[in-house]
Amino acid sequence: MKCLLIIADGAGDRPCKELKGRTPFQAAKTPNLDSLASRGITGLMDVISPGLPPGSDTAHLALFGYDPKIYYSGRGPFEALGAGVKLKEGDIALRGNIATVKNGIIIDRRAGRRDSKPFEKVLKNIKITSVRGVKPIVRATVEHRFVLILRGKELSPNVTDTDPHKTGKSILASKPLKDSDAARRTALAINEFTNKAMSVLKGHPKNKGSRLKANAVLLRGAGSFLPMPSMRKRYGLRATGIAKGALYSGVARAVGMKTVIPTGATGGINENYASFARTALKTLKKNDFVFVHIKGPDIAGHDGNPLEKVKIIEEIDSMIKEFMRLRNTLIVFTCDHSTPCSRMDHSGDPVPLVMAGPGVRPDDVVSFDEVSVSRGGLNRINGLSLMPIIIDLMDKSKKYGA
């Protein structure tokens, strides 16, 4: 028995006025997801807990069965692992955006989603002089994103973000969250890097003629890596993750998965879903558990574009068609969180879930959307319950008690 877990990032939503009061899942034509629902068992899932908006990092940890309260120290380390950086003990990793600032005010936190790769070299050349023995390491990832690792002694993840998480605000100064020399040293290094980044980006030739210039950086999610037991050790599974985004590859690697990037993957709205399907089918042949991450719905949600979200969901549904003939395979489809178009950010709304395959007891639900699955046989579960249910349906669970 194998398992294919497909996570449509941020695909959950609320009723949209542009869709006549329907959610994107309700408005989309999804014959293959509906078929899965009619063949399987459905329900709603509070990925962390009811009403609590999950981050994508904590959400994926929970969905893989790792309690974020124990294993989460910040988003940066997962981004770094996903970018291929081998973290050392004591490293502090942060997630970064290139951004557009005008007259000291942030006007676009993503610089129009411009590619960070052309700016990687000048950011790599920044030296930290205010804190002795600290070396910055920079790695561009997807679109506007990059990773900053501070390597040195006496550093701490207990510092605040420089990213205010809103436009119309100034870049913040990082401050220590604890009264310690390590936290003060780290905040000082972050602030120096931020200031020098603005200087080196200001006249960058790639900004010539651009309306949204990449002339600043925003940093957040400082953390140090916490080792955790692998999925092989915890569940006895040979597991591989298929994702383009560094964060999702990083969480997969953190729990011991191998990772694969499909040919032509973008990690954006316009995705090569056929390539994802081919990669998943090929990877399943040599693995017990395959995780597939799809980023597009979350981007449409953050952009407040329900029509685009409907289109992406329909494209994902076409990908699902490629998996419908799988045998001896449990197919699980869900979301890591809801990103309502009306909110343009994560929310605490529960996400829809379907599980179909051998041994699954079907319920009476025949449509896949947030409202229909609320009547399903899984009822309403939390994210940490997902893997135990999967393991049991794969006939790999162990009896509790005599």
What pLDDT sits at residue 2?
98
Non-local (6+) Cβ contacts of 258 within 8 A are 239, 240, 241
Superfamily of domain 2-71+227-393: Alkaline Phosphatase, subunit A (3.40.720.10)
Question: Other CB atoms closer than 10 Å to residue 225's CB: what's the count?
Answer: 22
What DSSP designation does 170 have? P
> How far apart are alpha carbons 353 and 367 in whole angstroms?
11
Question: What average pLDDT does range 2-10 have in this prediction?
Answer: 98
> How far apart are alpha carbons 258 and 11 in whole angstroms?
25
> How far apart are alpha carbons 22 and 18 in whole angstroms?
8
Non-local (6+) Cβ contacts of 300 within 8 A are 24, 269, 306, 308, 309, 312, 341
Per domain, the residue ranges of the chain are 2-71+227-393, 80-223
Mean pLDDT across the chain: 95
Q: pLDDT of 16-64, one tens digit each? A: 999 999 999 999 999 999 999 999 999 999 999 999 999 999 999 999 9
> How far apart are alpha carbons 94 and 77 in whole angstroms?
7
pLDDT top residue among 173 and 245: 173
Question: Other CB atoms closer than 10 Å to residue 70's CB: what's the count?
Answer: 9
> How far apart are alpha carbons 207 and 122 in whole angstroms?
13
The DSSP bridge pattern shows strands 145-151 and 135-140 to be antiparallel
User: Vertex 305, ends 218 and 101: CA angle to 5°?
Assistant: 25
User: Vertex 195, ends 190 and 197: CA angle to 5°?
Assistant: 90
What pLDDT sits at residue 142?
81
120 phi/psi in degrees, rounded to 5: -60, -40
Q: pLDDT of 142-198, one tens digit each? A: 889 999 999 999 999 999 999 999 999 999 999 999 999 999 999 999 999 999 999
